[in-house]
Amino acid sequence: MEHLIGTTKTAIIIAASVLSFVPIFLWGYHFYKKHPEKQAYVVITFLAGALSVVPLLVYKFLWAYFPWINAFLWTRNLHADILGFSTFSLVPISIIATFMLVGVIEETSKMVSVRLMDVKIFKSIDDVIEFAIIAALGFAFIENIIYFYNIINVRGFEQLLFPFVFRSLFSTFAHVMFSGIFGYFYGVAHFANQELRDEMQKNRHPIIKFFHKHFHLKRSVLFKDEKILEGLIIASVLHAFFNIFLEMEWSFLIIPFLFAGYSMLNYLLHKKECLKEYGKIV
C-alpha cells in the first residue's frame, strides 16, 4: 500500500511538472528567441530562479517549529482596519500588508537570481530584462508545480482545467512582468551613461521622489543602488496589486492590469537605450 501511495505521488509530481513546463516554455520562447546563443547562461539563470523558491519553502516549513517568525501573523492584527473610499474599494489593511510582504519576499528572491548572473554576458539593458524574465520563469515553474500538485492531490485532475489556464495565461506572465520591469531598472543601474542618469534624475515621477525623500535616497547614494531599489519597490508594489485583485475577486481588473504590464514590458524592451550594446559593465 505504501509503495502504491508513493508511486501515485510520484506520478502526480511528474504530471504537475509537465503541466507547469507548458506555459514556461511558451512565455520563455516568446521573450528569449532574440538571444539563442546564450543557452548555457539561460539554463543557469532558469535554475537559479527555480532554486530561489527554496528559501521561501524553508521559511514556511519553520513556522511549525518557530511560530513567532511567521510575519503573516503580524498582519492579521490589522484585519479590522479598513482602507478605502467606497463600498467597492474597501480593503482590509491586513490584506494590503500581507501581499506587500509577499511581493517584497518573492521579488527579492528573484532579484538574487539576476544578481548571480551579473557578469560579462550582460551587454545591454535589454539583456538584463530578458535574463530577469528567465529567472522569473524558473521561479514560476516551481511555484506552478506546487500549486498543480496540491490541486491534483486534493481535488483531482478534473478540477485542474481552470487553474491551469489561469496560471498559464495570467499568473506566470505576472511574474514575467514584475521581474522584467525590475530588470529594466537593474540594467539602467549598470549601463546608463551620465546623460541618461541626469535625465532620469531630473524627470523622476512624484511617487519616486517621495520614496527617494523618505527612504533617504539622496545624491550621495550610488546611482546603481538607487535604481535597483527603485525597481524592487515598483516590482513589489505591482506584485501586491495583482495579489490583492485576486484576493478581493476583482477579476475584471486583472486583464487590463496585465495588458498594461505587457505593453510596458514591450516598450522597455524596445527603448533605444535598452537596445544599445555597451560591451561591458560601467
User: Which residue is associated with the grid cell 490589522?
Assistant: 78
Q: What is the pLDDT of residue 145?
A: 94
Q: What is the pLDDT of residue 126?
A: 85
| Below-70 pLDDT ranges, the chain | 1-7, 33-37, 71-72, 74-95, 97, 118-120, 192-222, 272-282
Q: What is the pLDDT of residue 172?
A: 93
Q: What is the pLDDT of residue 281?
A: 39
Q: What is the pLDDT of residue 29?
A: 84
Q: What backbone phi and psi angles, to 5 degrees, belong to 83?
A: -120, 130
Q: What is the pLDDT of residue 197?
A: 58
CB 88 within 8 A of CB 118: no
Q: What is the pLDDT of residue 140?
A: 94
Q: What is the pLDDT of residue 136?
A: 94
Measure the CA–CA gap between 187 and 227, rounded to whole angstroms: 9
Measure the CA–CA gap between 81 and 221, rounded to whole angstroms: 36
Q: In terms of Cα–Cα distance, which of 245, 244, 239, 257 is closest to 106?
A: 239
Q: What is the pLDDT of residue 50?
A: 92
Cell numbers given for 226: 538607487
Q: What backbone phi and psi angles, to 5 degrees, belong to 92?
A: -60, 135
Q: What is the CA radius of gyration of the chain?
A: 20
Measure the CA–CA gap between 23 and 137, rounded to whole angstroms: 9
pLDDT (tens digit, 9 = 90+) per residue, 197-253?
Answer: 555 555 555 655 565 555 555 553 557 777 888 899 999 999 988 988 887 778 888
Q: What is the pLDDT of residue 98?
A: 72
